[in-house]
Amino acid sequence: MHIPENYLSPVSCAVMGAAMIPVWVHAVKKTDRELPKEKLPLLGAGAAFSFLAMMFNVPLVGGTTGHAVGGTLIALLFGPNAACLAVSVALLLQAVIFGDGGVLAFGANCFNMAFVLPYVGYGVYRLLLGKQNGRTSDARPYGASLGTSDARPYEGGTGGIRPYVAAFIGSYVGLNLAALCCAVEFGIQPMLFKDAAGNALYCPYDLGVAIPAMMIPHLAVAGFVEAVFTVAVFALVRKTAPDLSYERMLADAPEAGKKKKYIPVFALIAVLIAACPLGLLATGTAWGEWGADEIAEIVTDGKALGYTPSGLESGWSLDVPMPDYALEGMNETLAYILSAVIGVALLIIIFKLISIPMKGRRNPS
């Protein structure tokens, strides 16, 4: 799912990168509060694990293998915020050292794999587990450290198969939503960025092709790889070290606690994520329908104005209400940038709103 360089337009990359900034800020702040003091080395360890997990070949049917991302798994163990940072660091190293995923596309890759995947995966897991688990993990004191946890070898955390089912579904949904975001990012490229002849400048496949092309393999195979992978590792860790989980860390952190309030947060984030590609999609089609090919061409590159007039002379000005193409082009670029700013602002506002009730609750206790 790593988006390589130049599949997305630089503008898209910039927008996705900008969208990640408030996410990272939020994640850093939350991690600071939730995780035990050894948070930084833990982030390094989580990032290293994430990096290695992405290189790990998971067996599939018939001797073939696939890769998992492991975003949900890390969220289950270290929390979605730490997972976001850990996966981001891992993606950065992959992009810079191994050329796996573009350097400019880093923001987009982070959005899909470090933001959508862990938060959705963890959110679904929490929702499915409901209150039952919250109570049990509250009831058990954190005190037991890794060393003493083998006193109860097989009853890691909440008993039963339920956490595993939740983890399975959570990671499956998380991965597929991330893949959907990726497909949408690909799919809007040919709608927004074309040359004078209407040919795509970046990824050539529109939504109609990109979504099925991405989603069919992910729904059918990759999602299950991710899910089985998540459950397999999660199971061993829960059996071996039941204390190593996000819930336990929250219970341990003096100010965090009260997991229930996280559920609305994740519901909100899920809505946000669902809305986000829809919004992009809506604007995409609007531009695609309304703006002629040339407009998109101008949007793509301000400099292009210099060498395209030949394309514009061919009867194009007759159909378009505003003959001043330069102004038109500027408007489109401006509109794109403005909507990006609005999107970022919205994200910041939502995260700020989310943090209000938490602060309120924390102060009295």
Q: Which residues from 195-254 bind other proteins, rule CB under 8 A?
A: 195, 197-205, 228-229, 231-237, 239-241, 244
Choices 102-110, 163-171, 282-290, 343-351; region in contact with other proteins by CB under 8 A: 102-110
**Which residue from 11, 61, 30 is spatially nearest to 359, judged by alpha carbons?**
30
Q: Interface with other proteins includes 296 (CB under 8 A)?
A: no
Maximum C-alpha span of the chain:
81
CB 173 within 8 A of CB 120: yes
Out of 139, 220, 303, 319, which residue is the one contacting other proteins (CB under 8 A)? 303
Query: For residue 59, what are the β-bridge partners?
Result: 65
Q: How far is the CB of 321 from other proteins (least distance, A)?
A: 26
CB of 153 or CB of 159, closer to other proteins? 153
Give the number of residues in contact with other proteins, rule: CB under 8 A: 78
**Residue 4 touches other proteins, criterion: CB under 8 A:** yes
Assess 49 for contact with other proteins (CB under 8 A). Answer: yes
Alpha helices (H) along 291-324: 293-300, 309-313, 316-319
| Interface with other proteins in residues 14-43 (CB under 8 A) | 37-38, 40-43
Instruction: Fill in the amino acid letter for 33.
Output: R
Give the C-alpha separation, 360 to 13, whole Å.
Answer: 36
- What minimum distance in Å lies between the beta carbon of 358 and other proteins? 22
Residues 146-185, interacting with other proteins (CB under 8 A): 146-147, 149-150, 153-154
The three-point CA angle 104-113-120 to 5° equals: 145
Query: Closest CB to other proteins among 117 and 227?
Result: 227
Interface positions, 67-96, toward other proteins (CB under 8 A): 77, 85, 89-90, 92-93, 95-96
For residues 44 and 323, which CB has a smaller minimum distance to other proteins in the complex? 44
**Measured from the CB of residue 28, what is the shortest distance to other proteins in angstroms?**
8
Cα 174 off chain centre by = 9
Q: 244 in helix, strand or coil?
A: coil
Q: Between vectors from CA 362 to CA 359 and to CA 365, what angle results, nearest 5°?
A: 155
Q: Which is nearer to other proteins, 38 or 319 (CB)?
A: 38
Cβ 352 to other proteins shortest distance, Å: 22
Q: Pick between residue 177 and residue 210 the one whose CB is nearest to other proteins.
A: 210
C-alpha span between 329 and 303 (Å, rounded): 11
Instruction: Identify the three-state secondary structure at position 324.
Output: coil
By C-beta, is 71 or 269 nearer to other proteins?
71
Determine what percent of the chain falls in helix, strand and coil, rounding each to the nearest 5.
75, 0, 25
One residue of 139, 208, 307, 309 binding other proteins per CB under 8 A: 307
Contact (CB, 8 A) for 6 and 102: yes
Residue closer to other proteins by CB (options 144, 354) is: 144
